[in-house]
Amino acid sequence: MDKPIGIFDSGVGGLTVAKAIAEALPNERIIYFGDTAHLPYGDKSKESVKLYSQRITAFLVAKGCKAIVIACNTASAHAYSDLKKFYPKLPIINVVNPTVNYCSEKYDSGKVGVIATKGTIKSRIYPRKIVKKNPNLEVPQAAAPLLVPMIEEGFFNNNISQTIINSYLSTKNFADIQALILGCTHYPLIKEEVKNYFKGSVDVIDSATGVAEFTKKLLKKEGIASKKREGKNQFLISDYTESFEETSKLFFGEKIDLREERIWD
């Protein structure tokens, strides 16, 4: 049986990436792990996020995964470099680099904003990487700590959520931006509400499609792409509640079978 792709996030937000990968690579089997016991990663210390990411990656490697996708911006910022050192021969993909490459190539100059969790914003991973590739770009940022718990509870696409989103986007940092990066894999679910605020004047960029295409190219390059999917996709979380079951339908676009896997015991 062909080996699966391992994907992990702090919760069910990374299912937006898993869905894009499932659509772009229909022959691949997926094992998804959502660390709902430690949700959200955005307000955790760098050391804690590294520890969680290392433990989950070890779990997925033990499951036979041939590649790992870090479907979390905070984990991508804090843990990617260490994971590459620990697993030098294992293809590891983060959600930041494909988005950075896209923005630095598409926009010659001007402002590209980033909205994300506190952890991702504090790391300054997007400004550092984008400006390094294209010094003519400015990358203003804004942290939005309420959005992940709001989305995890399925509380969006209503007047109250729009008001909360608007309060983050109205920062003077985002005056005259031409594009906005949704720097969290949860945020594609509120993409339309973000678009509503800008009324078509700003390109709203999420990472899911770019990561899926990058993963597809990398598997082909490494000669490990599957020709036919064998077995079912698995969706695991570290702490089960009914709200995750409901929200997972919204993220993945269809009902999935979530199973609790207590790797922290």
For the cut 60, the answer to whether the pLDDT of residue 46 exceeds it is yes
Confidence of residue 229 (pLDDT cuts 50, 70, 90): confident
88-141 pLDDT tens trace: 999 999 999 999 999 999 999 999 999 999 989 999 999 999 999 999 999 999
Confidence of residue 215 (pLDDT cuts 50, 70, 90): very high
For 89, phi then psi, to 5°, come to: -100, -5
CB atoms within 10 A of CB 176: 11
For the question of residue 184 being annotated catalytic, the response is yes
Q: What is the pLDDT of residue 253?
A: 80
How many percent of the chain have pLDDT more than 90?
Answer: 78
Q: What is the pLDDT averaged over residues 220-225?
A: 95
- Out of 7, 17, 56, 72, the active site residue is 72
CATH 3.40.50.1860 domain range(s) in the chain: 5-94+208-260, 97-205
For the cut 90, the answer to whether the pLDDT of residue 13 exceeds it is no
Q: What is the pLDDT averaged over residues 207-221?
A: 94
What is the domain class of 97-205 according to CATH? alpha beta
How many percent of the chain have pLDDT more than 70?
Answer: 100
For the cut 70, the answer to whether the pLDDT of residue 20 exceeds it is yes
Q: What is the pLDDT of residue 242?
A: 77
DSSP letters of 85-152? HH-TTS-EEESSHHHHHHHHHH-SSEEEEEEE-HHHHHHTHHHHHHHHH-TTEE--EEE-TTHHHHHH
According to the CATH classification, is domain 5-94+208-260 in 3.60.15.10?
no
Q: What is the pLDDT averaged over residues 165-190?
A: 95
For the question of residue 103 being annotated catalytic, the response is no
60-70 pLDDT tens trace: 999 999 999 99
Q: What is the pLDDT averaged over residues 20-35?
A: 95
Q: What is the pLDDT of residue 153?
A: 80
Q: What is the pLDDT of residue 203?
A: 96
1-5, 45-49, 152-156, 247-251: range with highest mean pLDDT: 45-49
Confidence of residue 1 (pLDDT cuts 50, 70, 90): low
Q: Which two tokens stand for residue 236?
A: 């695991």
- Out of 39, 79, 96, 184, the active site residue is 184
Please give the mean pLDDT across all residues of the chain. Answer: 93
Q: What is the pLDDT averaged over residues 138-165?
A: 92
Confidence of residue 2 (pLDDT cuts 50, 70, 90): confident
Confidence of residue 230 (pLDDT cuts 50, 70, 90): confident
Q: What is the pLDDT averaged over residues 229-258?
A: 84
For the cut 80, the answer to whether the pLDDT of residue 265 exceeds it is no
